[in-house]
Amino acid sequence: MSPPKREDGAPWRNFYGRRRGKTLRPGQVEHLETTLEYLRPAGIGWDENPDRNPLDLIEIFGNDRPIWLEIGFGSGEHLLAMAERYPGVGFIGCEPFVNGVATLVPRIAARKIENIRVHPGDARDLLDVIPKGKLEKVFLLYPDPWPKKKHHRRRFMNPEALVPMARAMADGAELRVATDIADYVRHSLETVAQDANFQWEAECAEDWRRPWKDWTRTRYEAKAIREGRSPHYLTFRRVCG
């Protein structure tokens, strides 16, 4: 098998933007060449797993434990905090932006965190090989909003990503979405309204204005607030199927 193609034959549409930013420091490069090799689960890439065989999560984490996924962890502030708060949970963080991965990996090593694994690439490749129903919580925090209408199909909150996510999530599992873009909220709610696999948990306005009790503010959120944009916190539940 090979990576899927769009109906028009073009390459798989990316939901993320650039892959690299500023030049990495030598120490970051060293961690990418050493520490990341330990943290990176084998069998996610199409070249190494063309048949898309499911990952052995017990082998990856050393035991059978709840698995939580963060899609696009940025610099990793939230992922690090959650892993330290919940040491009995296995965390997988996906991030295609090399500089974000290079920021997180040395911090994992410095704090001696044992329950994080890192996939430095497209989350959809990982969702392909997560065993069915194994994810108990998924975080999508300040994803690229793709503000131009012609790019809305590149937003992660679209069927192209939600369908494989629903397959990988357990019945009753939680999907958390944080964004400071009102149109992304609208788009997410409209998309979920057409997807029988998820339901929005909000019962009043405070449910999407107030962060989760174990929330850790990211640098991106702090910047959004400084610039006058309001965070929105959406909680969706994987409907039992």
Q: Has 77 been labeled as part of a binding site? A: no
The per-residue pLDDT string of the chain (241 residues; one tens digit each, 9 = 90 and over) reads 555 554 434 344 554 445 555 666 766 777 777 788 889 999 998 889 999 999 999 999 999 999 999 999 988 999 999 999 999 999 999 998 888 898 999 999 999 999 999 999 889 899 999 999 999 999 999 998 867 777 778 888 998 889 999 999 999 999 999 999 999 999 999 999 999 999 999 999 899 999 999 999 998 899 999 999 999 999 999 998 6
Would you call 143 helix, strand, or coil by DSSP? Answer: coil
Nearest-angstrom CA–CA distance, 6 and 47: 19
Task: Report pLDDT for 19.
Answer: 55
Query: Residue ranges of the domains in the chain?
Result: 26-238
Q: Has 220 been labeled as part of a binding site? A: yes
Task: Report pLDDT for 11.
Answer: 41
Residue 174, token pair as written in the block:
């939680």
Nearest-angstrom CA–CA distance, 191 and 159: 7
- Asked if residues 139 and 78 have their Cβ atoms less than 8 Å apart, the reply is yes
Nearest-angstrom CA–CA distance, 137 and 3: 26
Q: Classify residue 50 by its DSSP letter.
A: T
Task: Report pLDDT for 98.
Answer: 86
Would you call 133 helix, strand, or coil by DSSP? Answer: coil
Task: Report pLDDT for 9.
Answer: 41
Catalytic site positions: 144
Residue 96, token pair as written in the block:
């295609």
Q: Has 114 been labeled as part of a binding site? A: no
- Angle of helix 98-111 relative to helix 26-33, nearest 10 degrees? 80
pTM across the whole model = 0.90
Task: Report pLDDT for 24.
Answer: 67
Would you call 144 helix, strand, or coil by DSSP? Answer: coil
Q: Has 180 been labeled as part of a binding site? A: yes
- Angle of helix 98-111 relative to helix 77-85, nearest 10 degrees? 30
- Asked if residues 81 and 139 have their Cβ atoms less than 8 Å apart, the reply is no
Task: Report pLDDT for 4.
Answer: 58
Task: Report pLDDT for 34.
Answer: 78
196 closest CA partner among 170, 174, 163: 163
C-alpha 37 chain-centroid distance: 20
Fold of 26-238: Rossmann fold (3.40.50)
